[in-house]
Amino acid sequence: MKFNPNYHITAYLTKQLLEIERHKEAINILPVTAQLVASLRETARLQSTHYSTQIEGNALTQAEVQKVVKDNKSGFPGRERDEREVKNYFRALEYLEDELKLDVEISKKLIQSIHGLVWKGFKKGTPYRDGQNIIRDGATGNIVYMPPEAKDVSILMNNMIDWTRKMMSENEIPAPIVAGLFHYQFATIHPYYDGNGRTARLLTTFILHKMGYGMKGMYSLEEYYAKNLQGYYKALTIGTSHNYYGGRAQADVTPFLDYFLEGMAISFRSVRQKAQRLKELNQDRPIPFQTEKLRELRPHQKQTLSLFIKNKEVSIQEIATHLGLKNRSTYALVKKWIDDGFIQIENESRKSRTYVLTKQWELLISQDISKEQDR
């Protein structure tokens, strides 16, 4: 039962690997401020939460997801389960980020803790399934896949974990392939009765981050899966039989890697485009706002946005110089902007007082960039 994935490197896979590398290197050299990286990372978290739960049938929109997980608001009658799912997924994302900072390894404990958060909202680990789990077509009721028996789950998971840790330490196989093979094998073993997809997607991103493909947390693979859902299921359906023991264990998984690496390339290209857009903003080029609220900004606010993007904190004097105004006029503007929730005081010292954009406006800028790239 040793995990020995059967795949081969094709010209298409090589092309996708090269494209992923190009985008990865390009993003590393673009001058993006820490403030906006944080904003883009937050947008990626919300997208991951929305799209990964949407794949499983969650009906909340992205705006509603934001209200639930960031503003801590509910009020969607009849969709309490959907609210719990997005809250749990967001908690799991935050937990994985904490574990990455601690440099923990992929392990049974980590996997079970992630599933515990996804499924129940608590990081107390959940044991693997103790019975058979059959995946059926929701429309016809036909059996789509019958995973391995419960008695084999633990050893299969251990073998997969051992293989993954070995590949991560040896660094001989490209990280995207290691992550893709892990994702495929996790879905194949299907170690839980439910929550397998969400757990697999979270852990796949964890592996990519550990192997140097974190892209500062600014990308979401889940969006690609959700928008190519039939391709996702088709890529996972490999082998001559729906029964694990009927050939899937030895099947050629290259088609899944084709799908997975294409998604990584698309996601990384999107991040690169957003980062390039930020670079243009840093150069004070005109900003063709897409978001209605951003378009409604007063001219002086629009001018000042590029200053805040280039510098996390700015002073009254810097704003006055940037706008070509006298200090007295600038003070009046700044006071109004604070009252309106556009900016806030960062350093309260009278001699060296500085200001930053509020979190709300950071997020709006990030969403505006995303909308432009989707046009």
How high is the mean pLDDT in each 10-residue block of the chain (375 residues)?
Answer: 86 96 84 69 88 92 84 73 93 94 95 96 93 84 88 96 96 95 95 95 96 88 89 81 82 93 93 71 50 74 77 82 84 90 83 81 69 53
User: Is 3 part of any domain?
Assistant: no
- Is the same domain home to 251 and 125? yes
- Is the same domain home to 348 and 272? no
User: Is 284 part of any domain?
Assistant: no
- Is the same domain home to 159 and 294? no
Residue 315's domain is classified under what CATH number?
Answer: 1.10.10.10
Task: Tell me the residue type at 330.
Answer: T
User: Is 271 part of any domain?
Assistant: yes
Structural domain boundaries enclosing 331 = 289-374
- Is the same domain home to 205 and 345? no
- Is the same domain home to 115 and 154? yes
User: Is 2 part of any domain?
Assistant: no
Instruction: Note whether 261 and 20 are within 8 A (CB).
Output: yes
- Is the same domain home to 320 and 241? no
**Residue 193 per-residue DSSP state:** S
- Is the same domain home to 273 and 309? no
Tell me how far CA of residue 355 lies from CA of 283, 315, 342, 350, in angstroms.
Answer: 20, 6, 10, 12
Whether pTM > 0.85 for this model: the answer is no
Instruction: Note whether 203 and 104 are within 8 A (CB).
Output: no
- Report helix, strand or coil for 156: helix
Task: Tell me the residue type at 67.
Answer: K
- Write down the pLDDT at residue 284: 46
Closest CA relative to residue 197, chosen from 53, 69, 58, 84 = 53
Task: Tell me the residue type at 350.
Answer: R
User: Is 223 part of any domain?
Assistant: yes
Closest CA relative to residue 176, chosen from 205, 148, 199 = 205
- Write down the pLDDT at residue 217: 86
- Is the same domain home to 127 and 235? yes
- Is the same domain home to 273 and 303? no
How many whole angstroms separate alpha carbon 181 and alpha carbon 81? 31
User: Is 209 part of any domain?
Assistant: yes
- Is the same domain home to 125 and 182? yes
- Is the same domain home to 274 and 293? no
252 has which bridge partners?
6
Task: Tell me the residue type at 371.
Answer: K
How many whole angstroms separate alpha carbon 214 and alpha carbon 208? 6
Burial-class residue 3 by CB neighbours within 10 Å (0-12, 13-18, 19+): buried
Instruction: Note whether 51 and 223 are within 8 A (CB).
Output: yes
User: Is 156 part of any domain?
Assistant: yes
Q: Domain boundary at 250, 279, 308, which?
A: 279
Within 73-127, residue ranges assigned H as helices are 80-101, 108-120
Q: Domain boundary at 279, 307, 331, which?
A: 279
- Write down the pLDDT at residue 40: 76
- Is the same domain home to 112 and 229? yes
Q: Give the number of domains in the chain.
A: 2
- Write down the pLDDT at residue 300: 86
Question: What is the Cα gyration radius of the chain?
Answer: 23
Task: Tell me the residue type at 111.
Answer: I
Q: Domain boundary at 256, 279, 302, which?
A: 279
User: Is 162 part of any domain?
Assistant: yes
Residue 203's domain is classified under what CATH number?
Answer: 1.10.3290.10
User: Left, alpha or beta for 264 (phi > 0: left; psi -120 to 50: alpha)?
Assistant: alpha
Instruction: Note whether 117 and 91 are within 8 A (CB).
Output: yes
